[in-house]
């Protein structure tokens, strides 16, 4: 049952994350193609995202490895 809840939550999280990417259309039409950023400290989103993803994969791999090792001992 716990596995079913986890899988359901995972699919819902992935499904709703697609809505977060969408942006409203430009109301003005023309203008500066590169408007800059607001507020001033423009920080790229991918600054540490790849490291966070790699750490998550490593953590998940370690958990799977430990689970398989524990099953072999029984």
Q: What is the pLDDT of residues 1-48, one digit of tens each?
A: 888 899 898 988 888 776 666 666 666 665 666 666 766 677 666 667
Rg (CA), the chain: 21
pTM attached to this predicted model: 0.40
Handedness of CA 33, 39, 42, 48 (dihedral sign): negative
């Amino acid at each position: 049952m716990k596995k079913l809840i986890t899988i359901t939550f995972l699919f819902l999280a992935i499904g709703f994350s697609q809505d977060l990417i969408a942006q409203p259309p430009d109301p003005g039409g023309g203008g500066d193609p590169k408007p800059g950023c607001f507020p001033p400290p423009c920080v790229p989103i991918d600054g540490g995202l790849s490291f966070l993803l790699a750490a998550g994969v490593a953590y998940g791999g370690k958990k799977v490895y430990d689970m398989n090792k524990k099953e072999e001992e029984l």
